Amino acid sequence: MMALPTATTAGQPHALTRVLEACRRRHGAAVARRSSRGGTRNGWWWALLIATLGGTTGCALEPAGAPMATVRPSAGGTLLPEQLMSGGYPSLAPLMRWVTPAVVNISVKSAVPIDPHPFLRDPEFRRFLDRFGLPEPTEEGLAERQSVGSGVIVNAARGYVMTNDHLLQNATEIQVTLKDQRRFRAQRIASDARSDVAILKIPPVDVRPLALGDSERLEVGDFVIAIGNPFGLGQTVTSGIVSAVGRSGVGGNRIGELIQTDASINPGNSGGPLINLAGEVVGINTALIGPSGGNVGIGFAVPSNRARAALERVPR
């Protein structure tokens, strides 16, 4: 493993040294104790981890000699950076407490045509029926199918929930379950098959909605978090980075350019949010590539700017 340098040329402190010192000044003895307890190696680990979280911990790298910046809440009331600590350690747990109440599980009952029995496509079987003068059996009607997915509350006062359009195909009944286990019947009020985004309506709820961020600002390497209901297990959080932006050719290019991420996305995550470290929705999880239908680190989300366009088409 390559050792991290301790200084740069011309006697200037290495960037990570300055990050660690800034965090020691900001968070006091807690960081100092953990860095000294494990020696230099742990000190660099802490500097890297805190630098990774950057602005979320309030320890982003500052120019040499610059005063410590004052951390203030954003105009939108997002989580304060210094709150992203748990037990003195950098943690995403406070952010999850902030955002997960707005993420919902969606259960859909749909009516799908019954597929004909394979025997009916077998020429030998048909000849057998003809030989004995037997009528060809018919299978008509619809079968009920139940599927699960996810969604995100984007307007609590109006009860608007954003999800995937493909999840709702042929839906006869849609049920939305909040994190606190409240359940509501939902109706689809808008959809856009080209972006695979749909808007559901439930009664108004006392939940903090999640804001849609600017997906145009996403870059490869940005940290993101996927929240959803994989395999119907219940609300689950996974994390990763943006692996690519503007990815096309997925699903026959039917839904345009997508965000690619290695945050684990599985069946049941469809319609759930992909969020950044500011707690903003930057994508709506929609697809994955895997040999057996499970995650192999290649998932896709509809950019939030395209999802916003679908929301703006909802009648006011």
CATH of the domain at 227: 2.40.10.10
Residue 166: active-site member: yes
Residue 270: active-site member: yes
Range of the domain at 146: 104-201
Secondary structure element (H or E) that encloses residue 44, with its range: helix 39-53
**Whether residue 241 has pLDDT greater than 90:** yes
Average pLDDT on 284-312 reads 83
Residue 150: active-site member: no
Residue 297 belongs to a domain: yes
Query: Do residues 221 and 190 share a domain?
Result: no
Residue 236 belongs to a domain: yes
Of the residues 147, 166, 264, 304, only one is catalytic, namely 166
Higher per-residue pLDDT: 250 or 92: 92
Least confident range from 65-69, 192-196, 259-263: namely: 65-69
Average pLDDT on 247-261 reads 78
Query: Do residues 238 and 267 share a domain?
Result: yes
pLDDT (tens digit per residue) in 181-216: 999 999 999 888 888 999 999 999 999 999 999 999
Number of domains in the chain: 3
Residue 7 belongs to a domain: no
Residue 94 belongs to a domain: no
Residue 87 belongs to a domain: no
**Whether residue 86 has pLDDT greater than 80:** no
Residue 92 belongs to a domain: no
| C-beta neighbour count of 79 within 10 angstroms | 18
**CA–CA distance, 211 with 146 (Å, rounded to integer):** 30
Residue 99 belongs to a domain: no
Query: Do residues 256 and 295 share a domain?
Result: yes
CB of 150 closer than 8 Å to CB of 281:
no
Query: Do residues 222 and 307 share a domain?
Result: yes
Q: What CATH number corresponds to the domain at position 143? A: 2.40.10.120
Residue 288 belongs to a domain: yes
Structure confidence at residue 9 (pLDDT): 41
Closest CA to 298 of 248, 257, 244, 253: 244
Of the residues 165, 192, 196, 262, only one is catalytic, namely 196
DSSP at 55: G
Of the residues 195, 215, 243, 270, only one is catalytic, namely 270
Contacts of 195 (CB under 8 A, 6+ apart): 165, 255, 256, 302, 306, 307, 309, 310
Least confident range from 88-92, 193-197, 213-217, 235-239: namely: 88-92
Query: Do residues 197 and 225 share a domain?
Result: no
Structure confidence at residue 138 (pLDDT): 66
Residue 9: Cβ-neighbour burial (10 angstroms; 0-12, 13-18, 19+): exposed
CB of 197 closer than 8 Å to CB of 307:
yes
Least confident range from 9-13, 26-30, 114-118: namely: 9-13
Query: Do residues 183 and 110 share a domain?
Result: yes
Query: Do residues 175 and 228 share a domain?
Result: no
